[in-house]
Structure 1
Amino acid sequence: MALLSFELPDGSTRQVDVVQVLNAGYAGRSQDDVAAHVAELAELGVPAPSTTPALYPVSAYLAQQTGQVGAQHGRTSGEAEWALVVDRDGELLLTAACDHTDRELEVHGVAWSKNAGPDVLARRAWRLADVEDRLDTLTLRAWVTHDGDELLIQNGTLAELLTPAYWADVLRGRGDLIPGTVLISGTIPMRDGVDQFAGRWRVELGDPATGHVIDLAYDVVPLPVPIG
């Protein structure tokens, strides 16, 4: 299991012993847009899900607060997401996350690719109850760095994605809304013409009403060449 620590706006800290991690997929609010995305991915060889939205359980240790992600090859990349975290007292927290995915493996199975890299989470969080009345206005952005230049690759709002309340209901129905649960939201579109296979990813969850942001960043580090 993983132990995560989140600082809240009042300065208090929440420790979370992660017992399960679930990655939402094809989780756009508009399922017509999702269907179009599924068709685009099919042309790239990525198998279509049996249902949308999808939910992929991954190993609990993949929930990490880290500044470095090891990669076995050059075709792995992140995805800007929000994360719903159930703390020890059952309170729901909201934070920024980046699902680092193996794109080579994705064509063989999305669930496999999700288990091949970590879900990187920020070190700060908000109580979901404190921002729930303005969730759709919260911004979600990601930048990639190439040769020292940082480029915006994702830019949207939470209005584009299914809500934390939607997923909380799904988890509650499964008996999975328990302390130590981490749910990763699914992502928003990437900008055309920006190379996702970058040496650094940065994700920001912003609240325009207060000007507050939660962010994370990590370097993608090639692993040594294997022997054998």
Structure 2
Amino acid sequence: MARVELDGRAYDIDDLVIAGWTGRDVAALEHHIEELKAIGVQPPSKVPLYYRVAASLLTQADSIQVVGDDTSGEAEPVLIGTADRLWVTIGADHTDRKLETYGVVQSKQVCAKVIGRSAWRFEDVEPHWDELILRSFIEEGGKKVPYQEGLLAKMRLPRDLIAGWNNGNKRLPAGVAMFCGTLPAIGGIRSSSRFDMEIDDPVLGRKLEHSYIVRALPIIS
């Protein structure tokens, strides 16, 4: 179990679900599959897939520790089910890319899953969900470099993702956090010592933002 705070309110998370291969556009989805194949990751058996990982991996820290230099983040909208409503925040499915070539499930289990500290009520953004913009940035050569950017319209709708996991029910149960998928990396997947991510709402003029530092531990044999 993990406890998270969203705008000062604490919630217990019992189940953490990573929805993968969630592209709405077939061509874009194929691009992401080819992008991962280029680093040795086998294509999915079906799309979308729902990976279960330990809820204890969920964190809102400003810094995480990983083993080696082969990990990277990917920005995603994250749904948080609570007793009174559905929330959306920003998150990163940080993944060990070297281990991913061996097994996707195993790779997702070894890195922290970082989410932001602020959230929006899902009902406030659901009418214009497709207009929300997902972005991430990495640090290269001491500079902040764009890493991902695109409309959430490129991914399956949240209610459809919930229904696919919850046996047709479009309501996310309380205590469940669901990562909703990501966008291709600009210039290819690569590691960085810093990851910045945001969801931009141009309709209501606001952003969800979070950043974290990646500290690589040495590989000792």
Please report the TM-score for the alignment, with normalisation by the length of structure 1. 0.90
User: 8 Å contact 1:153–1:196 — kept in the other structure?
Assistant: no
User: 1:123 corresponds to which residue?
Assistant: 117
Preserved CA contact (<8 Å) 1:146 1:200: no
What is the CA distance between 1:182 and its match in structure 2? 0.4
| Equivalent runs, 1:6-155 vs 2, <5 Å | 6-7=6-7, 13-87=8-82, 89-155=83-149
Deviation, 1:33, is: 2.9
Give the stretch that moved more between structures: 174-183 or 141-150. Answer: 174-183
C-alpha change, 1:189 and 1:40, in structure 2 (3 Å) is: closer
Query: What is the alpha-carbon distance in structure 2 between the residues aligned to residue 181 and residue 171 of structure 1?
Result: 11
Q: Name 1:215's counterpart in structure 2.
A: 209
**Pair 1:203 & 2:197 matched:** yes
Cα separation, 2, equivalents of 1:2 and 1:72: 22
Query: CA RMSD for the aligned pairs?
Result: 1.8
Query: Contact between 1:65 and 1:123, CA under 8 Å: does it hold in 2?
Result: yes
Quote the Cα distance in structure 2 between the aligned partners of 1:19 and 1:62.
11
SS of match in other structure, 2:187 = coil
* Identity across the alignment (%): 34
User: Does the 8 Å CA contact 2:32/2:183 hold for their aligned counterparts?
Assistant: no
Gaps of 5+ in 2: none
The residue identity in structure 1 corresponding to 2:65 is G
Match of 1:177 among 168, 172, 193: 172
Structure 1 position 165, deviation (Å): 1.1
The TM-score normalised by the length of structure 2 is 0.93
The answer to whether the 8 Å contact 2:78/2:88 transfers is yes
Which residue identity is paired with 1:122? G
Determine helix, strand or coil for the equivalent of 2:166.
Answer: helix
Displacement, 1:44? 3.2
How far does residue 36 in structure 1 lie from its aligned partner after superposition? 4.2
